[in-house]
A and B are shown apart, each in its own frame.
Chain A
């Protein structure tokens, strides 16, 4: 019985993706899941992160295929728009489900 419980706990902990275990990356994905697109400056404002730190976290998510970036000019200023990919949405969902299972114990 205890072995089953430990095995389930181990599975759930493994299901919690290491990519989204970082709270800034989790925050980015949750915000993007609720919006079509967010600009770099809006993300920076909401997450209260420095350019360097936010840029590094965004690059990690982009490298893993969780987010897309689209660069365009708004009022002659370059703007980077970030959106969640389908893989990112699925990854976030399974991460949140695993978190829920762990907290439900």
Chain B
């Protein structure tokens, strides 16, 4: 009798924990990065001289804005988890530092401009993949799109970077719309 009650309590608590979720991104963050990816990747084909300055601002700026949007979404939802916020900061901050160090390789002449873009794409793909593993499963798919895009850049076809940007933007917007539908169904 006692055992049945305890097992029933455990099942109940486990279902609660699963329902509460944690770590996934709000829709606004998906939309923000859809816009950044569309502009930033397209720029490599259409305005290569603006690509560096754009990403120097949009990368860290987008990260900070994502943190603010994530916190606001948490407050609106009524669920605040500082631990997950710190994990996000460490994950994305670490990725930003590594990208900056890759830029140093280009500045010091160890690698050329196009190769730098490819190296950064791979680093970002890895960062987004691990974000998919630890925070939000949608990021596994976005990372896969980047890896396929990277393979496309090896063949040096026209507008490959723009195609990657469009594919990422479409996938991010679709994920945002799916999340909205899911939230509406859950009555959020």
Q: Which residues of A sit under 8 angstroms from B78, Cβ to Cβ?
A: 38-43, 45, 79
Chain A binding surface SS class: helix
* Separation of A36 and B75 alpha carbons in the complex (Å): 11
Contact at A31–B17, with CB atoms within 8 Å? yes
Q: B26 → chain A, closest Cβ, in Å?
A: 15
Contact at A42–B79, with CB atoms within 8 Å? yes
In the complex, B73 has a CB within 8 A of chain A: no
Q: CB within 8 A of B79: which of A39, A75, A103?
A: A39
Q: Which residues of A sit under 8 angstroms from B188, Cβ to Cβ?
A: 45
Contact at B80–A81, with CB atoms within 8 Å? yes
Q: Which residues of A sit under 8 angstroms from B80, Cβ to Cβ?
A: 35-38, 81
In the complex, B10 has a CB within 8 A of chain A: yes
Q: Residues of A with Cβ closer than 8 Å to B? A: 13, 23, 26-27, 30-31, 34-43, 45-47, 74-75, 79, 81, 99, 102-103, 105
Contact at B6–A26, with CB atoms within 8 Å? no
17 pairs across A/B with beta carbons < 8 Å? A23-B13, A34-B22, A34-B81, A35-B20, A35-B81, A36-B83, A41-B78, A42-B79, A43-B78, A45-B78, A46-B19, A46-B20, A47-B16, A99-B6, A102-B2, A103-B7, A105-B3
> 0/1 per residue, B73-112, Cβ < 8 Å to A?
0011111111100000000000000000000000000000
Q: Residues of B with Cβ closer than 8 Å to A? A: 2-3, 6-10, 12-13, 16-17, 19-20, 22, 75-83, 187-188
Q: CB within 8 A of B12: which of A23, A41, A103?
A: A23
Q: Which residues of B sit under 8 angstroms from A42, Cβ to Cβ?
A: 77-79
Q: Which residues of B sit under 8 angstroms from A36, Cβ to Cβ?
A: 80-83
Q: Which residues of A sit under 8 angstroms from B7, Cβ to Cβ?
A: 103
Contact at A34–B13, with CB atoms within 8 Å? no
Contact at B9–A26, with CB atoms within 8 Å? yes
* Separation of A105 and B83 alpha carbons in the complex (Å): 35
